[in-house]
């Protein structure tokens, strides 16, 4: 029997003074996770060749670079990074507060499944 699995970002967030932490979300198998940054921490420039990545800024303010564009993103922001585009995060804003992101990777094949699901008729 299915049940609602309610999780709280604040209770899942994990931090380390050595490097940022990736916290998997239960049963998401690496496609959804929290990224938790202490002040001054960041993620190096990288790509995901086969998946778009969406970020929701759950807590704090950080700088994201997507391709050639660099922006400040604050709590409540949603950012999309298309598959194959280089990107990075840095929690350098003032150096005083933690940054918590919800990262969701969406493989290209998932878009067709989502379109199919939205076409279903529900009673």
Enter the pTM of the model.
Answer: 0.84
- How far is the C-alpha of 35 from the C-alpha of 121, rounded, in Å? 36
Q: What angle do CA 54, 56, 61 make, to 5 degrees?
A: 125
* pLDDT tens, residue by residue, 104-118: 998 877 766 667 767
pLDDT value at residue 13: 92
Report the pLDDT value the prediction gives residue 93, as an integer from 0 to 100. 63
Tens digit of pLDDT for each residue in 23-71? 988 777 778 999 999 999 999 999 999 999 999 999 999 999 999 999 9
Task: Please identify, in words, the CATH class of the domain defined by 42-108.
Answer: mainly beta
Burial class of residue 122 (count of CB atoms within 10 Å of its CB; 0-12, 13-18, 19+): exposed
Q: Where are the domains of the chain?
A: 42-108
More confident residue, 28 or 121: 28
């Amino acid at each position: 029997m299915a049940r609602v699995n309610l999780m709280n970002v604040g209770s899942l967030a994990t931090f380390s003074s050595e490097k940022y932490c990736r916290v998997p979300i239960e049963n998401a198998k690496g496609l959804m996770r929290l990224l938790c940054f202490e002040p001054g921490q960041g993620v190096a420039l990288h790509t995901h060749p086969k998946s778009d990545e969406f970020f929701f800024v759950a807590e704090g303010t950080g700088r994201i670079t997507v391709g050639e564009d660099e922006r400040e993103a604050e709590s409540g922001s949603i950012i999309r990074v298309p598959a194959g585009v280089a990107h990075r995060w840095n929690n350098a804003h003032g150096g005083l507060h933690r940054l918590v992101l919800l990262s969701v990777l969406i493989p290209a094949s998932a878009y067709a499944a989502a379109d199919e699901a939205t076409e279903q008729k529900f009673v």
